[in-house]
Amino acid sequence: MFKNILAVARNPYVGHTSSSNSQTGKPNPTNLNVFEMTRFSTNEAVSLEKTVETAVDLVETSQTDLENVYEIGKCAEWIKKNNYKKVCLQFPDYLLPDSTEVALKLQEILGQTLYILGDTAYESCCIDYIAASHINADAIIHFGAVCFSITSANIPHMNIYEKGSLNVVDLKKSFDTFEGNKSDIILLVDTPYICHLDTIKEVFSVHKNVVVSRIDESVNNNQKITVFLGDNDRKLMNLSLSMGCRNLYYYKPKVDNKMIVKYEMESKIIKRRYFLMEKIKDSNTVGIVVGTLAVKNYLKVIERIKRLLNMCGKKYYLISVGKPTVAKLANFPEVDLYVIITCAMNEIYESRDYYKPIVTPYDVEVALNVNSKNLNFTYDYNSFINDSDLDSLEVNLEEDVSLLSGNVRRNKTDDEKMEDSEHNLISLRAEGTVAHSDHGAGFLASRSWRGLEQNLGGTDAKLAEEGRKGIAQGYSNEKM
């Protein structure tokens, strides 16, 4: 019976089936069941024909442009010169359509096997040493956008930057109309336009007050004006924060209004820092999310945050879930907020999709450490983690009032934390099981549904029995 119903439910004409028997005029129960099933089922074509939207459009380069875009000759020469035997090619997701052709061309030149790193463990802008270590790689060639974070491993690597189109004539016209073109200027070229560096230097050679430099080189920012040539707003903001450029301008080749414009950081970014610092002070349970293994000092900053939280009497969980997503972090409802340890180019800090606030290591440092009040905001924790003035951590033990909830709050002293751990750590539930009364376990005990109950000792032990055979559409013990 059940098998026949399923077969009819897939009939495209089921919506036109009469609900009554043509001979007796009485309702047909089979057709009624079929009609009800269509309400709770979805045509399989919806799943088969569904398209998945991607954040970045996939790139597929023509065969004639592969050599120029990926600099295959330069890569082969670098591998031969250093006699590397196990080389990994790291591509971001949007460049994966070209990865096979690039690898095949390099293998044809070198006569050796190359490995493609297609799914990076964390952010694609960081060198993925973790995946490369699975085959004990000698070197990594990274293609696409890069964040220039200080690396945590010493595997040799080479960067092949993306190639962007640039009209140097338009750039020169914008510079001629720029009001500060007579001052000392450093023109900082971002990675997509480094391929035009020689042409830019030639055009601006007539201006003795202009120094053309690459963003991946050390820059002397003593010049009065810095002009950033690029389209990445996050990189522009990090440049302003890390270099302390007072007179920072930018020129975006991809916009229609091609002018050199003064950079002004959005005030809401700084205002949000104060809001998040109050959330940190109000929190009881904090999740420390490992968002990178490739940036230097990631272990050191984790230990520093853990120490600060312990000193303030806050509970923390160390969470490692690969690339953080909304669905993954939603599995921890007892956590009040998350501290993401990642590179400075990660845009997760600006996301509003998460159920709990996302904060930076800087936010935790300034919110809890009394000795860090003079720190300037930055997404790069390496800019302050080695600061000698912050070696001695100190927290505020005086009472204050939360600006968000209006409640009085105070960090506990060591004696108070010891007393709480002795008297209030364990509570006895009615059914005889033991649970922590505070933080995560206490939160779980207070929930109405706590997962599958083991019911130990309440169920008689039985021998294993043979179950049903067949498939869900029709088991062998069912009547047809």
Residue 391 counted as domain residue: yes
Rg of the chain over Cα atoms, rounded to whole angstroms, equals 30
Checking DSSP bridges between strand 261-262 and strand 157-160, what pairing results, if any?
unpaired
Residue 451 counted as domain residue: no
> Residue 436 is which amino acid?
H
Phi, then psi, of 211 in degrees rounded to 5: -110, 120
Residue 45 counted as domain residue: no
Q: At what angle do helices 96-110 and 72-82 cross, to 10 degrees?
A: 50
Nearest to 233 by CA among 184, 199, 266: 266
Residue at a domain's end among 142, 160, 178: 160
- Examine the domain organization and report whether 405 and 271 are in the same domain: yes
Phi, then psi, of 65 in degrees rounded to 5: -100, -5
- Examine the domain organization and report whether 113 and 142 are in the same domain: yes
**Total number of domains constituting the chain:** 4
Look at residue 37 in the predicted model and tell me its pLDDT: 46
Residue 230 counted as domain residue: yes
Tell me the C-alpha to C-alpha distance, in Å, between residue 403 and each of 221, 242, 281, 362, 409. 39, 30, 10, 20, 11
Range of the domain at 384: 267-409
Look at residue 455 in the predicted model and tell me its pLDDT: 72
Look at residue 43 in the predicted model and tell me its pLDDT: 65
What's the number of CA atoms in the CB half-sphere (13 Å) around residue 272? 14
Q: What is the CATH number of the domain that holds 234?
A: 3.40.50.11850
Phi, then psi, of 14 in degrees rounded to 5: -65, -30
Checking DSSP bridges between strand 358-359 and strand 261-262, what pairing results, if any?
unpaired
- Examine the domain organization and report whether 329 and 294 are in the same domain: yes
- Examine the domain organization and report whether 186 and 127 are in the same domain: no
Report pTM.
0.74
Residue 299 counted as domain residue: yes
Residue 24 counted as domain residue: no
Residue 478 counted as domain residue: no
Look at residue 419 in the predicted model and tell me its pLDDT: 60
Residue 470 counted as domain residue: no
Residue at a domain's end among 115, 142, 160: 160
pLDDT by position in tens, the chain (length 480): 333 333 333 333 333 444 444 445 554 544 444 444 455 556 667 666 666 555 567 888 888 888 899 999 999 999 999 999 999 999 988 898 999 999 999 999 999 999 998 777 788 888 888 888 888 999 999 998 888 887 877 889 999 999 888 889 899 889 888 887 788 888 889 989 999 999 999 998 888 888 888 887 766 666 578 889 998 888 888 888 776 666 888 899 888 778 888 888 777 888 888 899 999 999 989 999 998 888 888 999 999 999 999 888 888 999 998 888 899 999 888 899 999 999 888 888 888 889 999 999 999 998 998 888 778 888 888 888 765 455 668 888 777 888 888 888 877 666 665 665 555 555 444 444 454 555 566 666 666 666 676 677 777 888 888 888 888 878 887 776
Helix (H, G, I), strand (E, B) or coil at 40: coil
Write out the H or E segment, with its range, that includes residue 371: none
For the chain, the farthest-separated pair of C-alpha atoms sits apart, in whole angstroms, at 101
Q: Are 254 and 231 in contact (CB under 8 A)?
A: yes
Which residue has tokens 């939207």?
Answer: 53
